[in-house]
Amino acid sequence: MTTRPLRILIVSQMYPVPGHPDLGIFVRSMHEQLEARGHTVQVVAVTRRGGGPLKHLALGVRTIVAAVRFRPDVLYAHFLAPAGVWAALASLLVRRPVVPTAHGRDVRNIGVIRGVAASMRLLGRRAPRWIAVSEYLRQDLELRLPWLAGRVDVINSGIDLERFAGQDRAAARAELGWPGERSGPAFLFVGTLDERKNVMRLAEAFGRLGEGSLALVGDGPLRGELGDLPGVHLVGRVAHSEVSRWLAAADVLCLPSTVEPFGQALLEAMACERSVVATSVGGPPEFVGEGGGVLVDPLSVDSIEQGLRAAASLPNPNPRARELAALHDIRLQAERVERVLLDVTGSTVRAT
């Protein structure tokens, strides 16, 4: 089957730039893969944190202008609102379909933030197919918007198996100076230091081990409560390109969030042949299979402690974790996204 190249306008509330290199890296990765597959892609996105509602209003104006000038075959939106809604409004002018992707919080906002549920009706009229990054999220989306049943594809953000691969652990530790003199397993957390990511319970569970070290890569409101704990190393926010070095230095990646719609950091760690401790609530059970890591009850410190011990006993490097991650190769996911985009534009042509 052959296809003609598409003109794709990506609209996103997150996109990485040098000043914010970790902001929506998964959007850029999909952008690059769609271009590699021969499509012409233009991006309209928010590229900075903060800024309030004006940056989202500016996103809407830029989306409409770009749609009129670029004349895309399809608008491919990341996050339902406001990015998906702006894409839907722009699509009215250029008479092209929209494919929105739900990532997590945008689904939780439906029925919680005033006006979001109503705006989904507009998006629904312009979007014949939707994407959710996990089966868990698809079910939640269809529960909130029952009229979407049968229109949502599950396609996660994928993993770049070349960028995230096994590396020499000793070399990475020497380069980073971690875990230092403290003996025992080296546990790593990557994400926002907040309640949803469950860092306080993680730190308490780690403290019960009495050995090893825990590096926290990221920043957030709970940073001040974590600084004086024995064995806990606050790294702060790092460029996404540096995350693979921290994963190489670690024994186990920990993400026991109270809920995790997908869990990109887990997939990155598994691709680097590292075992994981993952929440049992949300998307992680869909890809953290037996031998690749341990699922835990995020509300139970006992469960997290047991998970840390069990994951630390798995092989390191862990080829099974890499094998499971490879099922979600970004190239495979981009091909699946491409099929959806082609389907809504009617651009698929069977070779004769």
pLDDT category at 3 given cuts 50, 70, 90 is low
pLDDT digits (tens, 9 = 90+) for 118-152: 999 999 999 999 999 999 999 999 999 999 999 99
Q: What is the pLDDT of residue 182?
A: 83
Share above pLDDT 90 across residues of the chain, in percent, rounded to a whole number:
87
Decide: residue 28, CB within 10 A, 0-12 exposed, 13-18 middle, 19+ buried: buried
Residue 331 to residues 35, 161, 316, 345: CA-CA distances in angstroms? 11, 9, 26, 21
For the cut 50, the answer to whether the pLDDT of residue 351 exceeds it is no
Q: What is the pLDDT of residue 21?
A: 74
Q: What is the pLDDT of residue 306?
A: 98
Interior/surface letters 260-285, b for 16+ CB within 10 angstroms, e for the rest:
bbbbbbbbbbbbbbbbbbbbbbbbbb
pLDDT digits (tens, 9 = 90+) for 7-66: 999 999 999 888 777 788 899 999 999 999 999 999 999 998 887 788 999 999 999 999
Mean pLDDT taken over the chain: 94
Q: What is the pLDDT of residue 330?
A: 97
pLDDT digits (tens, 9 = 90+) for 280-331: 999 999 999 999 999 999 999 999 999 999 999 999 999 999 999 999 999 9
Of the candidates 304, 22, 318, 325, the one whose C-alpha atom is nearest the C-alpha of residue 191 is 22
Q: What is the pLDDT of residue 349?
A: 36
- For 253: left if phi > 0, alpha if psi spans -120 to 50, otherwise beta; the answer is beta
How many of the other CB atoms lie within 10 Å of CB of 158? Answer: 24
- pTM reported for the whole predicted model: 0.92
Q: Domains along the chain?
A: 2-158+329-349 (3.40.50.2000), 169-326 (3.40.50.2000)
